[in-house]
Structure 1
């Protein structure tokens, strides 16, 4: 019953006009009024960021705030993979032979997530990591590896939530929401960086047009909380032994290691 009620509520609110209305509000000067309450409710530690909260003129500016220079140290080892975002690792594991991944007890089709069978087959028997960003998190996305972007595409136009309830009760949000996907060639193979748009605010804005990426280099930002899914080819990645889900991480922290096929 809880699942049905939740899904019906989402269907009622999953409308383009509502997304646009919320987007307009977060970018308006009026939204500055709620910034102090937002910071307090979500317990945001502003000490790592460029400015104190009262210097942001809109809620959107607060969402996409930048870190102070030198705040994060990026691991320089060419074999390590870092977290591309501040987030909670909600799920991680081997990709099943069926090319589905299991998140919160539900199976998600890689064919739907990536858009076609050919892409999905490339990651069969590989490894996946799901990183969930809440509204309190830093919303900028960085490269998890040194590598070269070999393709980039966009899919979907829905706005199902990608929070814990959304992952558990939503209608395949990781496979149907708006998402922007980058495939990256790295030292030992290929990976997919899947950026999944959040409920109401689907915007994923690229800030880096280069195809050659340096680990820790900024790529894009989310307008509001969302989710990042990392996909690795078979036998090219090992998750760090210190990680057990759910696991909070910050951008720049080591989450795994590249290995040769």
Structure 2
């Protein structure tokens, strides 16, 4: 880990401390070399964003030898083992630890029927109207909904809709959950590459979001319309795994998990179906993410 302050440090607002904090980036030196130097960009084109590279890295995290990384990782990133459903010593590989389950009490789900909750732990950005957004992590880059969704018809329906983007770092809890209650469809896979979704990479090329592998699920709801949930793969993410059964689901139900690596979920809602929380709107307008945990309130119908 390169602890030296960087002029392009990634800052976020922590909802629980009420402070702007600097992100500890897992593998920062390698990530910056990859996206900010010519040799790194060549390596990226040759290997780093290729699916085989992520599968190889995921395979390493599935080997028994990777178990030795678990306890040092917990200590380095100050994770709380009391939240874990199973003790740290029980994990046979790093990946088993990575997609661990938590005790239900560790992530209470907001009970208001009109609320939309965060689908995952992570750093979140919101866009009240996708058509009005001229940038996410940097000004001038716009979302290509048709390519993201793999459908011009869907893109038309959500062209002025609202979006919640939840970025999971390697240090985060890596299961994702339903943000609303409703009837969930079968998931649809859109194949793609596996580039990093860290802001260091997205500031260079937002198109990563619609070039990477992703999975889309439609959720029919009573008060929020049809909600789209999108899981986006990333570099060193061995897979996007769905654990739910299509049909009726409840807000906060387990939907699936990512194997090793940073990753992202996106929630897309029809126009005028949600009023995002004030802190999300405030910090998102400044291209600053808000840290919040799964089950906490993102907004209301």
Taking structure 2 as the reference length, the TM-score comes to 0.79
2:276 and 2:58 map into 1 onto residues whose CA distance is 36
- Structure 1 residue 208: deviation in Å? 1.1
Write the deviation string for residues 180-236 of structure 1: whole angstroms up to 9, x where unpaired. Answer: 011111123111111001112241111111321100111111113200111111111
C-alpha deviation, 1:75, in angstroms:
1.4
Residue 43 to residue 7, structure 1, CA distance change in 2 (3 Å): farther
Secondary structure of 1:78's counterpart equals coil
Number of the residue aligned with 1:162: 197
Give unmatched runs, 5+ long, in structure 1: none
The structure 2 residue matched to 1:14, chosen from 34, 49, 56, is 49
Please list the CA deviations of residues 85-121 of structure 1 after superposition, one character each: whole Å capped at 9, or x if unmatched. 0111145332116xx7732122220011000210101
Cα deviation for residue 21 of structure 1 reads: 1.7
The structure with the greater share of residues assigned to strand is: 1
Q: 1:191: which partner in 2?
A: 227
User: Is the 1:140–1:218 Cα contact (8 Å) retained in structure 2?
Assistant: yes
- Aligned residues of 1:101 and 1:110 also touching (Cα < 8 A): no
User: What is the number of equivalent residue pairs in this alignment?
Assistant: 256
- Say whether residues 1:205 and 2:238 are aligned partners: no
**Distance verdict in 2 for CA 1:117–1:4, change over 3 Å:** farther
Distance 1:248 1:160 in 2: 22
- SS of the aligned residue for 2:52 comes to helix
Residues 1:254 and 2:297 are matched in the alignment: yes
2:260 paired with 1:217: no
Helix, strand or coil for the counterpart of 2:43? helix
Say yes or no: does 1:242 pair with 2:275: no
- 1:34-72 CA distance string (max 9 Å, x none): 222222333322221113323211000111110113322
Tell whether the 8 Å contact from 1:101 to 1:109 is kept in structure 2 after alignment: no
The aligned counterpart of 1:86 is 121
**Candidates 77, 80, 89, aligned match of 1:54:** 89
Matched position secondary structure for 1:184: strand
After superposition, the CA RMSD in angstroms is 2.1
User: Which secondary structure does the structure 2 equivalent of 1:51 belong to?
Assistant: coil
3-state secondary structure, aligned to 2:252: coil
Shift of 1:4: 6.3
Unmatched 5+ residue regions in structure 2?
Answer: 1-32
